[in-house]
Structure 1
Amino acid sequence: MFKNIGRIGIEMYLLFQHHTTLEILRNVSTDTDIFTITGTGWHFVKYLGPAVVVVGPDCRSERNPYQVMAGPTYQGLFPKIAMLPSSVQHCIWMITVPVIYPRLEAAEQIAHTVATGKKAVTGTYNLLGKVTSSVAGVVGAKGVVGSGFDSVKKAVGKSGLMGGILSPFGDIDMLDELRDQWTHESKDLERTYLIRTLQGISHQKSLRMTFLSGSVSCCGAGLVHDPSKPSDHKTMYQLISSSVVNTPPPSYVLKLLHNNKPLYVPANGHRSTHAQSDTKEDMMEIFQSEPDGRQREMKKLMGRRNYVAVVAFDPEMVGGGGSSVGGSVAGGSVHGGQGKLSLAVDFLVQGDAAFGGVNKYGPVIVPSLDFGR
């Protein structure tokens, strides 16, 4: 059944988001639009002008509890990025779930505790119910006692104390959400491999890497960087924007995400211990106030409906540091015959009213990468 759901999902994705079908794609010999590497997932590399490229890896088709994408997929994707034209300055990776994101270790411990507690409570009531019902059967009240214990179990289950934690199937919903994260321990080595490989390509190509993600029902911005060498090739930004229709996460989840635990990316092939390394993870404090002007305590993530607007601009032109000459900037550095471009990212956040005004936060500036850094 689930295989058929996946098959239909892929067909609908291709039809409504790419306006194509599997039959058409199988008969196309070029990969200028969307392409497959292993025959399972469909990916794309799109140009937004000569200086900005958007890469859309399929992060669902090959996903399982232990991986996001298969090894051969990475081995097919990375060379395409390494061979981009020299005019490309920014590579934006559209990855469904954030690669750079605060940890929810406390929430996972709570979820495990709840899962264990649910099993313990259910088991205890089952055992006690059987014993009591057996005794009650002697006096002719077995049905009444059994009905009473069923009511207690329901009160503890999906419609009672566990109502906000259990999925419709009775499982721990939070655990499923956590396993889906790049930052979960099951994806740890793969995440490090992705970050470290992109850092290497960035250094080789003088290409700024940026992640654009959602699926966490809030907005924010983070980065990995070398504190001793600001804005070098190890610096990669993470932009997070939730869908306009998604419900924001509960406040206690956002509270858990606003922790100050220092996080570091290990060397390739090593598991994260968060021992100090040359690549630190940070979230940016860009939400200083609420849409109504009140000061915010939690400044890194905002749980409101939102979207992002990304604009490429030439800092020399905006700052008046040079004049445009033949597509490049006089007095500015040159990248493939063009002026150096930065990205300005604004977060547009909905206010409290159903059709309330939209508040702008930002901009977050993603600079281009100087040659050789």
Structure 2
Amino acid sequence: MVFNFNKKKWFESWDPKTLYYEKLRGTDQCCKESPINSISEGIICGPVLRLLYVDYGKNQYLGSILIVTKNLSDLMKQPVIKYVCGPLDFQVNTIMEPTKATDKFTDEIDNNNNNFDCELTEGVFTPTLFHEDQLGENTFQFYRYMIDLPLVEHDQMVRYSVDSNWESHYRFYVPSRTKNFNVMAYSCSGFSLAVDTSRFKGSLWYDVLQKHSKVHYNVMLGGGDQIYSDSIKLYSPKVAHWINTKNQITKYTMKVDLSFRKDMENFYLKEYLEWYGFGYWHGSTEKSMTTQRLLPLALATIPSINIWDDHDIIDGFGSYNDSFMQTEVFSNIGQAAYKYYMLFQHHVSIDEKEPYLSTKNWILGSNPGAYIKEKSHSIWTKLGPNMALLGLDCRTERKLKQVISWDTYKLLFQRVSAEIELSQKQKEQRIDHLLIMLGIPIAYTRLVWLEWLFSSKLLAPLKYLSKKNIVGHGLLNDFNGDVELLDDLNDHWCARYHKAERNFLVSKLQDLSAKYGIRVTILSGDVHLASIGRFRSKLHSSLKRNEDVNMKADVFENPEYDSRLIFNVISSAIVNTPPPDGMARLLQEKNKLHHFDDETEENNIEIFKVETNGKKRRRNNAFLNKRNWSDIIPVKNVIENEYLQGILNIKVGDKHVPGIVKGPQCDSILLKQIEKSNLKNQSYPVTKNGIICSIHAEIDESSMNSETSWYFLPIPDLQTGGGKKLSHTGMKHSII
């Protein structure tokens, strides 16, 4: 497809429904043969956009585009990416004189005085061949195209072509130098091995694209499990042989030679090419398959920032006992997964010194992880002049009794403090809001009794019978013989081994908030349902001591003055199956108001009081077991966006009880009953520098239409001014 970019073409609407609805057909199916085999030569995966770093000191936007080719070793055939950059809205440039494009692609761009009266610039994204790989007789070339664009006074749209093909979704949006980002967040983009995918006729990636065409998301945050690689135990012959080895001594001492390691790497290479390139996946049964055709489109139009979790490697990696994690085979699985995680999700090779170790976006761990043997790569960037992101790598250093090492925590908080202090030297670039990416929720229902039961010696007889296949088939995992769900429980921040570390991290984030006067919000996934956890000051406690001497307002009425207020937005899964109603009911029953320290309490808020159809009250109102994804939009951006304002209808000064967005499908009487603010249903103000957090939950998994309901929560900026010191006396499991 070749476009002539006149005014009409540049500002034309983009309608995913018209363009992509038919791609939803067959979402619950996949072809028998890998789609990789259908292409003998050419582009096999990509374009995949990545946001690298935004520098407001230099007004510089940095990113990259990944393209993987098959059997194109001739550099003369490497794909060419050209781009055109111009205003997002027609109005911003009508006063500018028409200009000729700086690089004349006259066959592709019609930019003359007769039909265009806004300014466009154009250029070429330069490729770097940064990795080559072999799979069977085929060679794959990895190209990274660096994006380096100036931030200007207005929002920009960047249209790009790959080998002169200008697809409708080959575009991304760069906000102005004074505007904070529109953020989309998701997790668990894939299915577990034995899921019956025939239940799911739609794809939430279609919903993402529909909203993106109107909202214009500037970044997409992958909170872990962007790919499900558990099938390595089925489709890597050597790993499958190791898994099925009954003799435990042989299993624990098996060596990994070059052939074994190559077998692992072949699996991850093929898995990523199929998933990122085609949305193709098949699991362990005849009913476990999917083709998410809209995933590659989303990856090509919204720049990503990703952290990883266990399924990006293999189920439970890092949360088994140390003796098993140290086995040569399991450790090498982690190392192979890490290599391809870096290649596909971060567009760097671990053999490249500068992109892998030296760019500004990384906060490297203090020492290599015990099993993966590489330093953790946490992520820092600003997402606007007043919003910043810290993506914590909680998997590379993970052990059964550790998530992140203490030395790495020190490096993390040194960098974050330095960045915040630097931002406060310029009022226009002062960080008001810090988003924290944590793969696993940190404010979540405790399941201590299940953890105790599954690790108890009382289960020893049952475990023995299960190993002999006499009873309880599937009770134990295939790795070290533990109860199947124990690794999931050990992963959680509230697990007995992680409680002290969890409390340390939360208290440090509260301290950051109080010291610098910034609001902290945590984004998580992993658990396959939606929820919003909350830490807050104890209600009606007089705000006293040195931390609150100037504060007289009650934190219930004025949460914008609460330094301890941290929300944990839990959004999972965008693809995977949700847990049964019984699990949501169990979590709801255990959702009590917990004591964090003498001044802080925590729970999960009751945002899901209404079913996704808008007509029925929900009992499990703090946990929604529906597929979902979320977004974080600055209040200013909501008010300026006609589509968003038409739905949310907010204004600064409003107060809202978290809940479903009013719509024609909603029961108005029911909404009136649940909208009243009280001690259980606290309302939150819409503030000028605040954000709006929304969760988009699937209404009907059997419908190809992939429609979602909209639940929202205003998160106010912190208005205390900073300079405060908090007390954490009374905190259990403390290491402070």
TM bin (shorter chain): 0.7 to 0.9
Q: CA deviation at 1:213?
A: 0.4
* Counterpart-to-counterpart distance in 2, 1:122 and 1:193: 35
1:167 aligns with 2:477: yes
Contact 2:432 2:517 in 1 (8 A): yes
AA at the equivalent of 1:289: V
- Could you give the per-residue CA deviations for residues 100-142 of structure 1, whole angstroms, max 9, x where no partner exists? 11111343344346x733x22465x79xxxxxxxxxxxxxxxx
The alignment yields a C-alpha RMSD, in angstroms, of: 2.6
Contact 1:222 1:239 in 2 (8 A): yes
Q: CA deviation at 1:167?
A: 2.8
Q: CA deviation at 1:253?
A: 2.3
Select between 73-82 and 251-260 the one with higher mean Cα deviation.
Answer: 251-260
Count of residue pairs the alignment pairs up? 313
TM-score normalized by the length of structure 2:
0.40
1:247 aligns with 2:582: no
Select between 241-250 and 44-53 the one with higher mean Cα deviation.
Answer: 241-250
* Counterpart-to-counterpart distance in 1, 2:524 and 2:652: 33
Select between 167-176 and 242-251 the one with higher mean Cα deviation.
Answer: 167-176
Q: CA deviation at 1:168?
A: 3.8
Structure 2 counterpart of 1:213: 524
1:138-177 matched pairs, under 5 angstroms: 154-158=469-473, 163=474, 165-169=475-479, 170-177=481-488
Structure 2 counterpart of 1:297: 619
Q: CA deviation at 1:357?
A: 4.2
Select between 249-258 and 97-106 the one with higher mean Cα deviation.
Answer: 249-258
2:712 aligned to 336, 340, 363, which one? Answer: 363
1:288 aligns with 2:609: yes
Q: From the superposition, tell whether residues 45 and 154 of structure 1 become closer, same or farther in structure 2 (CA, over 3 Å).
A: same
AA at the equivalent of 1:120: P
Contact 1:36 1:42 in 2 (8 A): yes
Q: From the superposition, tell whether residues 247 and 32 of structure 1 become closer, same or farther in structure 2 (CA, over 3 Å).
A: same
Structure 1 counterpart of 2:592: 261
Q: From the superposition, tell whether residues 296 and 316 of structure 1 become closer, same or farther in structure 2 (CA, over 3 Å).
A: closer
Q: From the superposition, tell whether residues 218 and 174 of structure 1 become closer, same or farther in structure 2 (CA, over 3 Å).
A: same
Structure 2 counterpart of 1:7: 335
1:25-174 matched pairs, under 5 angstroms: 25-26=353-354, 30-39=358-367, 40-83=375-418, 84=420, 85-86=423-424, 87-112=430-455, 116-117=458-459, 119-121=460-462, 154-158=469-473, 163=474, 165-169=475-479, 170-174=481-485
Q: CA deviation at 1:37?
A: 3.0
AA at the equivalent of 1:287: F
Structure 2 counterpart of 1:137: none
**Percentage identity across paired residues of the two chains:** 28
- Could you give the per-residue CA deviations for residues 198-227 of structure 1, whole angstroms, max 9, x where no partner exists? 111111111111110001111111110102
- Could you give the per-residue CA deviations for residues 163-214 of structure 1, whole angstroms, max 9, x where no partner exists? 4x43344531222111100011110111111111111111111111111000
Secondary structure of the residue aligned to 1:75 is helix
* Counterpart-to-counterpart distance in 1, 2:441 and 2:619: 23
Contact 1:350 1:356 in 2 (8 A): no
Q: CA deviation at 1:14?
A: 1.4
* Counterpart-to-counterpart distance in 2, 1:78 and 1:91: 13
Contact 1:286 1:361 in 2 (8 A): no
Tell me which stretches of 4 or more aligned residues in structure 1 moved more than 6 Å.
Answer: none
Contact 2:363 2:411 in 1 (8 A): no
Which sections of structure 2, spanning at least 5 residues, go unmatched?
1-328, 368-374, 425-429, 542-554, 641-649, 654-686, 725-736
Q: CA deviation at 1:361?
A: 3.3
Q: CA deviation at 1:31?
A: 4.1
* Counterpart-to-counterpart distance in 2, 1:319 and 1:253: 37
